[in-house]
Amino acid sequence: MSLYAQRGVSAQKEEVHAAIQHLDQGLYPNAFCKLYADYLGGDNNYINIMHADGAGTKSILAYIYWKETGDASVWKGIAQDAIAMNLDDLLCVGIYDQILFSSTIDRNKLIINGEVISEVINGTQSFFETLKEFGVQISFLGGETADVGDVVRTIAVNGTMTARWPKSKLITNNLIAPGQVIVGFSSYGQAKYETAYNSGLGSNGLTSARHDVLSKEYATKYPETFEPSLANEVVYIGKNKVTDSIEIPGFGSIQVGKLLLSPTRTYAPLVKAILSNHFDAVKGMIHCSGGGQTKCMKYLPGPMRIVKDNFLEVPPIFKLIQENSGANAREMYQVFNMGHRLEIFTNESDAAALIDIAASLGIEAQIIGRVEAANTKELVLKGSFGTETFSY
C-alpha cells in the first residue's frame, strides 16, 4: 500500500467515483466539469455550471508555518488556492469570465483566530482584483464562515463558483482525437501576473508533501495537524523544517515552507488569451489536479492512447518530496502534476501559437505528448524514470 493510501487519502478517489457513477453526467459527459441546461436564463444556447473545490490540507501547512514564524500573510495564499482550484477547472470547459464565487470557511475558533479569517477573506478579494487587471471578472458574493471545532482540527477553506456560458464557446473534450498533440503549460516559475517564484506544487498531494518533507518534531508540537489513528511511520517522516531553505536556480534561496505554500497558479489570463484568439485550435483541456498526470484519462471521448514522453523539467519541490519519501515514479506522477498543471489538446500546426501566448505571460510551455489510435483507453508516461503504462 502506498504512503498516500496509508494516510487515508486516495489520488484516484475510487470510492467517490463509485458513489457517483449512477448520477446524471450532464449535457457533455466528457467535459472536465458537469454542465447543465440554462435553468437560470431559460436559453437553450447557454449552459449553467456550479462547481465546488478548495485548498484541501494545504491549510494545515499554512497553520504550521504561521505558528512557527508568526507570518499571517501565508493565509492569503490559501485563499488563492481555494479560488484557483475552482477557477482552473472551469477554464477547462472554456469559462474564464463573469463568474460568481462564494466561500465556505470552517474553523476551530480555539486555534484559528480572527487575524487568519481576515487574511483569507481579504486575500480572496485581493486575488479577484488582480485577475480583473487581466480581464477575468469574478464577483465575490461572500459565503459562510462557521466555527465547527468538533468537526475540523484547524481550518478548511473551500468555495463554490457559478457561471452561465454560451454553448458555442464551450470546450467539451469531444474533439480530442488521434493525431493531435498535447501542449503542457508549466506550473512553476514566475508568470507575469505572479509576485514571486511559484514552486508548482498547486493544491493536490499536500497530505503527502507535508508528511514526506517535514520533520517528526511537528507531530509532537502540533498534534492537531494530523489524524491521531495514523501509524507513526507515516506521520512527518521528512528531514526538513519549514524555515529550512533550498536553492532555486535563478531565484536564490527560498524557505521549504514557502515552496510548499506557493499559491496555486491560475491559468486564467493565459486561457482567456488563448480562447479569445485561437478558440478553434483547442480540442480539449485538462487540469492535472487530483490524479496528476493520469487525470486526462477520465475525459477522453473514446478509445485512444495518450503518450507523454517530453515532459517539462521536474521542478525542485517534487524532487525534494521524492527524496524524502522514497516514492517511486509511478506514485509521484499519479499524485502530483510534476511540472505542468494544464494540458491543451490541439493540432500540431496550432501548437506554436499557444506556446507563444504562454511565453508572453512568462509561462514555459512545450509539446509534451501526443494522441495515438488504440482499441482501449491507454496512457504511457516516458522519461528518465523509465516507462509507466496505465489502462482504463
Categorise residue 313: left if φ over 0, alpha if ψ from -120 to 50, beta otherwise: beta
- 95-116 pLDDT, tens digit each: 999 999 999 999 999 999 999 9
Q: What percent of the chain has pLDDT over 70?
A: 94
Q: Dihedral of the CA atoms 315, 321, 327, 333 (nearest 10)?
A: -40
Kindly indicate the confidence band of residue 17, based on its pLDDT and cuts at 50, 70 and 90. Answer: low
pLDDT value, residue 299: 97
Domains of the chain and any CATH numbers: 3-196+262-391 (3.30.1330.10)
Kindly indicate the confidence band of residue 25, based on its pLDDT and cuts at 50, 70 and 90. Answer: confident
Rounded mean pLDDT, 187-194: 97
Q: What percent of the chain has pLDDT over 90?
A: 93
Rounded mean pLDDT, 225-250: 95
Picking from 100, 102, 203, the residue whose alpha carbon sits closest to that of residue 159 is: 102
Rounded mean pLDDT, 88-99: 98
CA–CA separation, 7 vs 234, rounded Å? 7
- 156-180 pLDDT, tens digit each: 999 999 999 999 999 999 999 999 9
Q: What is the pTM of this model?
A: 0.94
pLDDT value, residue 7: 59
pLDDT value, residue 19: 62
Rounded mean pLDDT, 312-324: 96
CA–CA separation, 299 vs 284, rounded Å? 9
